[in-house]
């Protein structure tokens, strides 16, 4: 009898082991699959939260910190601007696509970023854009230092991120040959406001040679020269100051050249990482292309709408308001010209200059309408 | 004779095994039920989440529209001349989709009008009109839900402000 009991006991143990292993296998397999799905959901939620926060900053202008990127590795995320712009993160195991961005956002995906808003003001229209930046140390390397270049540099700085009161900081300085000159503000790094003030106080007379110093991931080099050419250096960007409203940006690491027509283009080029995608384009190039796409799309609709609006107002203005009649008529014509120019190839520098000239003209005409009481000042 | 019958120990062992098997089966069934319950719970959460996403999208659209330079003269103040001129541009709906995304329609109706102007806005009826409807013909979409908020409308030609309602309707295929 004790032998029988022992046999049954052994049978119990063996059956118990088999069933335990089976149950454990089912639970681990289910948990593993569930965990993978949950991680993907969390990543998609973080990207969605980022878009929501960016839109909030877009509407209000109030900068905020965003730290959710620290939960996972988002270094594979980039902007896909080729069709309807959106954020895409591609890894070996998954691909996450966000909804359409709808607004221009130039972003880094480090663990902590500051989301800020800036704009380009044309008077009759403002183009807002969002930057989400991690720790940045922007170094200016102006190879010419006459008044025109210096004023251009001031304009560039005023459209780069202002992280005053927030962290991580974007700071500004110079590079001269092998030397980084960054502690210019009472012995500390300069933020945007301080650096801008410094530039307006310290006019030309300084000279700089091409930057050759070591730089880390936080640094961004901006060379300013009338003779930007691929191959002059292997990092950073080179900007040819605007002539008649258009200039050139050269990405020195890839040799790619682009025409720019507004300061948002430069901001886009500066914010992006220098890593290259499968098309051998840097993130800065992708942001620049995104900005151009959205800028010209939004401006096209705005110009056409303002032309229609001017016609509508003209047909309802009472006789006697001659100044408004003349003003709206000229403004409508200017908007129609801009609408036509926007249908051309704006990478062509003469066409970009024509657009810039007409935009300046439109700004003057809009101010005329405000000065004569036909429109309210913003 | 010569055959040994199973004793009480044998029967007891057998009942122990059967009891053990039943217990194990019961545990397996409980685990399966738990997995099914968690899956059902996740599925129902997805349904609720879909509703939340629609609400978030509506909030975003309303915020965007009330601050959009295509519709307003200044933040939170719609401009009747911009609303009217936008309505009569070629392909305005497709072009607004490029700004606001797809799957929506917008209706703005004056609630009060000093001049008594309430009808649909056309190029002929402007400025004495008080109703604007954008992208109403979304035939490929099923209507989902609508959201209404009060807004101000600046009357460009008479230079005063009137109260209106803005209704955003979201659609999904």
DSSP result, B91-143: THHHHHHHHH-SSEEEEEEES--TT---SB--TTTTTS--EEEES---TTSEE
Do A243 and A253 form a contact (C-beta atoms < 8 A)?
Answer: no
Cis amide leading into A86 (omega within 30): no
Tell me which DSSP letter residue A71 carries.
G
Flag if A26 and B9 touch (Cβ within 8 Å).
no
- Ranges under pLDDT 50 in chain A: none
DSSP A159-172: TS---TTSSS-EEE
Residue B34 has pLDDT above 60, yes or no: yes
The rounded Cα A357 to chain-centroid distance in angstroms is 25
Task: Write out pLDDT tens, residues A83-110.
Answer: 888 999 987 778 888 988 889 999 999 9
Task: Identify the three-state secondary structure at position A338.
Answer: helix
Task: Write out pLDDT tens, residues B76-123.
Answer: 899 999 999 999 888 889 889 888 988 899 999 999 887 788 888 988
Nearest to B13 among A8, A19, A125 (CB): A8
Flag if B9 and A305 touch (Cβ within 8 Å).
no
Q: What is the mean predicted confidence (pLDDT) over B1-14? A: 60
CB of A19 less than 8 A from some CB of B: yes
Q: How many CB pairs under 8 A join A and B?
A: 89
CB of A49 less than 8 A from some CB of B: no
Q: Which residues contact A325 (CB under 8 A, 6 or more apart)?
A: A314, A317
Chain A residue with CA closest to B93: the answer is A301
d(Cα A236, Cα A320) in Å, to the nearest integer? Answer: 57
Say how many CA atoms lie within 13 Å of A76 toward its Cβ: 13
Do B88 and B133 form a contact (C-beta atoms < 8 A)?
Answer: no
d(Cα A185, Cα A187) in Å, to the nearest integer? Answer: 5
Cβ neighbours of A290 in B, within 8 Å: none
Cβ neighbours of B31 in A, within 8 Å: 23, 26-27
Alpha helices in chain A (DSSP H): 2-60, 147-158, 192-201, 263-271, 283-314, 322-341, 349-371
**Could you give phi then psi for residue A94, rounded to 5 degrees?**
-155, 165
Residue corresponding to tokens 């989400």: A132
d(Cα B125, Cα B162) in Å, to the nearest integer? Answer: 17
User: Virtual CA dihedral for A347, A350, A356, A360, nearest 10 degrees?
Assistant: -170
**Whole-number pLDDT of residue B8:** 64
User: Virtual CA dihedral for A172, A352, A240, A367, nearest 10 degrees?
Assistant: -50
Do A189 and A167 form a contact (C-beta atoms < 8 A)?
Answer: no
State the nearest Cα–Cα gap between A39 and chain B, in angstroms.
Answer: 14
Chain A residue with CA closest to B6: the answer is A1
Residue B7 has pLDDT above 50, yes or no: yes
Cβ neighbours of B35 in A, within 8 Å: 30
Confidence band of B5 (pLDDT split at 50, 70, 90) = low
Task: Write out pLDDT tens, residues B62-72.
Answer: 989 999 999 99
Flag if A309 and B81 touch (Cβ within 8 Å).
yes
How would you class A44 by CB atoms within 10 Å of its CB: exposed for 0-12, middle for 13-18, buried for 19 or more? Answer: middle
**Whole-number pLDDT of residue B2:** 46
d(Cα B173, Cα B171) in Å, to the nearest integer? Answer: 7
Flag if A305 and B85 touch (Cβ within 8 Å).
yes
Flag if B20 and A316 touch (Cβ within 8 Å).
no
Confidence band of B6 (pLDDT split at 50, 70, 90) = low
Instruction: Give residue ranges of B with CB < 8 Å to any A CB.
Output: 7, 9-10, 12-14, 16-17, 20-21, 24, 27-28, 31, 35, 38, 56, 60, 63-64, 67, 69-70, 73-74, 81-82, 84-86, 88-89, 95-96, 98-101, 123, 126-127, 156-157
Flag if A312 and B84 touch (Cβ within 8 Å).
yes
Flag if B89 and A378 touch (Cβ within 8 Å).
no
pTM greater than the 0.90 cutoff: no
Flag if A305 and B100 touch (Cβ within 8 Å).
no
CB of A100 less than 8 A from some CB of B: yes
């Amino acid at each position: 009898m004790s032998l029988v009991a022992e046999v049954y006991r052994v049978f119990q143990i063996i059956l118990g082991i088999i069933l335990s292993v089976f149950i454990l296998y089912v639970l681990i397999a289910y948990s593993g699959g569930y965990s993978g799905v949950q991680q993907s959901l969390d990543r998609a939620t973080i990207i969605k939260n980022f878009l929501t926060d960016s839109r909030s900053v877009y509407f209000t202008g109030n900068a905020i910190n965003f730290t959710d990127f620290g939960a996972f590795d988002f270094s594979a995320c980039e902007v896909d601007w080729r069709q309807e712009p959106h954020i895409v993160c591609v890894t070996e195991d998954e691909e996450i696509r966000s909804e359409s961005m709808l607004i221009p956002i130039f972003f880094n995906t480090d663990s902590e970023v500051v989301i800020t808003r800036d704009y380009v003001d044309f008077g009759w229209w403002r183009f807002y854009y969002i930057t989400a930046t991690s720790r940045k140390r922007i170094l200016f390397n102006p190879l010419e230092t006459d008044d025109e270049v210096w004023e251009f540099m001031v304009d560039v700085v005023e459209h780069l991120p202002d992280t005053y009161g927030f962290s991580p900081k974007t700071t500004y300085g110079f590079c001269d040959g092998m030397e980084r000159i960054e502690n210019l503000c009472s012995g500390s790094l300069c933020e945007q406001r301080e650096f801008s003030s410094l530039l307006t106080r310290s006019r030309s007379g300084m000279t700089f040679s091409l930057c050759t110093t070591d730089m880390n991931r936080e640094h961004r080099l901006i060379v300013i020269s009338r003779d930007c050419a691929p191959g002059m250096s292997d990092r950073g960007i080179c900007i040819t100051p605007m002539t008649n409203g258009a200039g050139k940006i050269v990405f020195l690491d890839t040799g790619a050249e682009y025409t720019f027509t507004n300061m948002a283009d430069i901001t886009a080029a500066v914010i992006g990482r220098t890593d290259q995608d499968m098309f051998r384009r840097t993130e800065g190039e992708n942001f620049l292309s995104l900005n151009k796409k959205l800028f010209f799309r939004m401006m096209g609709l705005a110009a056409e709408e303002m032309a229609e609006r001017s016609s509508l107002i003209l047909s309802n203005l009472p006789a006697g308001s001659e100044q408004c009649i003349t003003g709206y008529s000229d403004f409508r014509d200017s908007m129609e010209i801009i609408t036509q120019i926007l249908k051309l190839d704006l990478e062509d520098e003469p066409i970009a200059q024509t657009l810039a000239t007409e935009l300046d003209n439109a700004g003057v005409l809009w101010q005329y309408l405000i000065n004569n009481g036909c429109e309210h000042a913003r | 004779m010569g055959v040994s019958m199973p004793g009480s120990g044998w029967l007891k062992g057998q009942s122990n095994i059967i009891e053990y098997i039943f217990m194990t089966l019961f545990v397996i069934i409980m685990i399966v039920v738990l997995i099914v319950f968690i899956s059902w719970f996740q599925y129902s959460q997805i349904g609720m989440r879909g509703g939340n996403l629609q609400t978030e999208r509506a909030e975003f659209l309303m915020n965007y529209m009330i601050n959009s330079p295509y519709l307003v003269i200044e933040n939170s103040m719609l401009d009747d001349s911009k609303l009217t001129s936008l309505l009569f541009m070629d392909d305005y709906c497709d072009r607004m989709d490029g700004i606001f995304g797809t799957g929506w329609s917008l209706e703005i109706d004056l609630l009060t009008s000093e001049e008594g102007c309430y009808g649909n806005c056309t190029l002929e009826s402007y400025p004495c009109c008080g109703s604007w409807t954008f992208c109403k013909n979304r035939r490929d979409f099923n209507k989902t839900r609508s959201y209404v908020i009060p807004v101000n409308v600046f009357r460009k030609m008479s230079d005063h402000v009137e109260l209106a309602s803005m209704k955003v309707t979201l659609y999904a295929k």
